[in-house]
Amino acid sequence: METNCSSPLLQLLFGLALLLGLAKPDPDPLQDFCIADNISPQSLFLNGAPCIDPNQATASHFATSALSKPGNTRTNKFGSNITVTNSVNLPGLNTMGLTIARADIEANGLVPPHSHPRASEVTTCLKGELIVGFMDTSNHLYIQKLQPGDSFVFPKGLIHFLSNPNQRIPALAMSGLNSQNPGVQITSIATFATIPGIPDGVLEKAYQISNQDVAKIRRNLGG
């Protein structure tokens, strides 16, 4: 049987395939750089931040000390802290399509399972040791132990984690992500601490737990 290549359905499928093939994490800049204007009131919402006059650019716009100091790992129950660059602490990063993140993880600490909807990530262990892993859409776990100097890639949008298995020594990692605004969803918080909350019955059935379990998890996660 011959296929009618002019049918609306096939044209739609071909169009979607073309668009997906051209999709990029962030659009390319149309000039050498676009230093973020973090002072002027924003009356127009853009996909990024507006630019200052390029003639006002200085070397300091492309440098930051935001990642030079350890983060406070006591601010949450996971024992970790993530410090990221953005167009505020590194204005020259605007429109460059990348983010750098520092992960401080205390002994026996964890960066809990989470995902970045708009970016892939490569993580390098700098101090201590890490157990890292991600799950693909067939629920296969890819897990690896990292020593200082080792790197690991987390594909875009997939749930992943970083864990410090050492009971005494903290760990430090640095990550690069290919989006200026990769976004982050911590799986447990996105499930049990939404506003408004997901109906208890949905969580009970999805996780095969009791109403008391739902209430306890919500309470522990601040939901």
CATH of the domain at 93: 2.60.120.10
209 plus 99 within the same structural domain:
no
- Number of domains within the chain: 2
Residue type, 112: P
- Binned at pLDDT 50, 70 and 90, residue 37 comes out as confident
User: Per-residue pLDDT tens for 39-58?
Assistant: 877 766 777 788 999 999 99
Which residues form the domain of 197?
193-221
Torsion of CA 26, 30, 31, 37, to 10 degrees: -60
| Spatial distance between the Cα atoms of 205 and 9, rounded to a whole number of angstroms | 37
Q: Do 9 and 102 contact (CB within 8 A), yes or no?
A: no
What CA–CA distance (Å, rounded) separates 94 from 87?
5
Residue 100 shares a structural domain with residue 156: yes
Task: Let me know whether 217 and 171 are in one domain.
Answer: no
User: Exposed e or buried b for every residue in 2-16, given b needs 16+ CB within 10 A?
Assistant: eeeeeeeeeeeeeee
Q: pLDDT category, 81, cuts 50, 70, 90?
A: very high
What is the token pair recorded at 119?
Answer: 């970016």
| pLDDT band, very low/low/confident/very high, at 140 (cuts 50, 70, 90) | very high
72 and 168, same domain (yes or no): yes
Specify if 133 maps to a domain. yes
pLDDT at position 6: 61
Indicate if the pLDDT at residue 167 is higher than 90.
yes
Which residue type does 163 have? S
Specify the pTM. 0.83
Question: What is the pLDDT averaged over residues 134-142?
Answer: 97
Would you say residue 67 has pLDDT above 80?
A: yes
Q: Are residues 107 and 172 in the same domain?
A: yes
What average pLDDT is seen over the chain? 90
- Give the tens place of pLDDT for each residue, 150-166: 999 999 999 999 999 99
How far apart CA 222 and CA 37 sit, in angstroms, is 35
